[in-house]
Amino acid sequence: MNTLRLRRHDLVWLDPSIDVGRYAAAAQTDTARHWVKQGFPLVVARQAAARVQDAERIMLGFSLPSAPMRTRVMLSADRSAILRHSRPLLLADAMRLAPAGWQAGMSRLHELCECTGTVARVYGSLSSEILTGRRYLDAASDLDLLLECADAARLRELLAGLEDYPLAVPRIDGEILAASGWAAAWRELAAAIRNGIAQVLAKSDTDVRLIRVDEFTQPFPVPA
């Protein structure tokens, strides 16, 4: 069995010879087939299984560039159909391909992440535009970041820097991913810490629940 570790926001490329349309909603079968045959990546979604690495089928999704309401396509695929897998794009790589108006802001963010020992990755519209060559970004688009910060002291420094971010373009959205595997929206986590709120809504690869803010950077038990 393929036990490749797949996490939310990871990218996978599927074998174009498989018929993914069988595992998409009836109204989206042709769309799913066309997407995979073009060699575009899919994004790993939150899994229903207790342990994502043991699931034989993986829940995946992608968005179509259909503004103003983006169409989200969901499907499942066998692990054996995965030809390639990667973590989300690094901020350092994505900013070279970002709109000119975003360059200065992304450079400042990159400096903040380097100073706080944070690995910054990009998902959402910018990632989709880079990986497919299609138009996803517009004037209202946010920069979606997955920020991997495992040190509690550095995490507070990172959140303070994000809250003090001086540039309006791009607007920063996204999640803080702790070493525990839990992720929380950075704005909600920053507000909880600032206001002394005890809990914050967090997501793992398989679950969503409230966790204590002071446990956010602590490892959580993984079933044997």
Predicted confidence (pLDDT) per residue in 163-196, tens digit: 998 877 799 999 999 877 889 999 999 999 999 9
- Read off the pLDDT of residues 18-61 as tens digits, 9 standing for 90 and up: 999 888 988 899 999 999 999 999 999 999 855 455 568 899 99
Q: Examine the domain organization and report whether 179 and 136 are in the same domain.
A: yes
Q: Examine the domain organization and report whether 82 and 135 are in the same domain.
A: no
Q: State how far the alpha carbon of 97 is from the alpha carbons of 110, 174, 208, in Å.
A: 14, 19, 33
d(CA 84, CA 82): 6
Among 58, 86, 114, the domain-final residue is 86
Q: Examine the domain organization and report whether 22 and 93 are in the same domain.
A: no
Q: Is residue 223 part of a domain?
A: no
Q: Is residue 127 part of a domain?
A: yes
Q: Is residue 19 part of a domain?
A: yes
Among 51, 86, 121, the domain-final residue is 86
Residues 6+ apart with CB under 8 A from 119: 90, 113, 147, 148, 149
d(CA 104, CA 110): 10
Lowest mean pLDDT among 59-68, 78-87, 169-178: 59-68
What range does the domain containing 43 cover?
11-86
**Is the per-residue pLDDT at 217 higher than 80?**
no
Q: Is 198 exposed, middle or buried (0-12, 13-18, 19+ CB in 10 A)?
A: exposed
**Is the per-residue pLDDT at 202 higher than 70?**
yes
Q: Is residue 222 part of a domain?
A: no
Lowest mean pLDDT among 20-24, 65-69, 102-106: 65-69
Alpha helices (runs of H) in 61-142, residue ranges in sequence order: 91-94, 103-115, 125-132
Provide the whole-model pTM: 0.89
Whether the CB-CB separation of 79 and 49 falls below 8 Å is answered with no
Whether the CB-CB separation of 129 and 136 falls below 8 Å is answered with yes
Q: Examine the domain organization and report whether 61 and 118 are in the same domain.
A: no
Among 37, 54, 86, the domain-final residue is 86
Number of domains the chain contains: 2
Q: Is residue 187 part of a domain?
A: yes
Q: Examine the domain organization and report whether 100 and 80 are in the same domain.
A: no
Q: Examine the domain organization and report whether 101 and 211 are in the same domain.
A: yes
Q: Examine the domain organization and report whether 98 and 165 are in the same domain.
A: yes
Q: Is residue 3 part of a domain?
A: no
Whether the CB-CB separation of 136 and 65 falls below 8 Å is answered with yes
**Is the per-residue pLDDT at 74 higher than 60?**
yes
Q: Examine the domain organization and report whether 125 and 210 are in the same domain.
A: yes
Q: State how far the alpha carbon of 57 is from the alpha carbons of 43, 46, 111, in Å.
A: 14, 12, 39
Q: Examine the domain organization and report whether 102 and 131 are in the same domain.
A: yes
Q: Is residue 82 part of a domain?
A: yes
Whether the CB-CB separation of 124 and 89 falls below 8 Å is answered with no
Amino acid at residue number 60: L
Q: Which residue has the tokens 């688009």?
A: 141
Q: Examine the domain organization and report whether 50 and 108 are in the same domain.
A: no
d(CA 24, CA 92): 34
Q: Examine the domain organization and report whether 93 and 188 are in the same domain.
A: yes
Q: Examine the domain organization and report whether 123 and 172 are in the same domain.
A: yes
Residue 10, SS3 per DSSP: coil
Mean per-residue pLDDT, 94-112: 94
> Which residues are registered as beta bridge partners of 144?
123, 173
Q: Report which of residues 151 and 131 the model is more confident about.
A: 131
CB crowding 92-115: b at 16 or more within 10 Å, else e: bebbeebeeebeebbeebbebbee
Amino acid at residue number 48: A
Q: Is residue 61 part of a domain?
A: yes
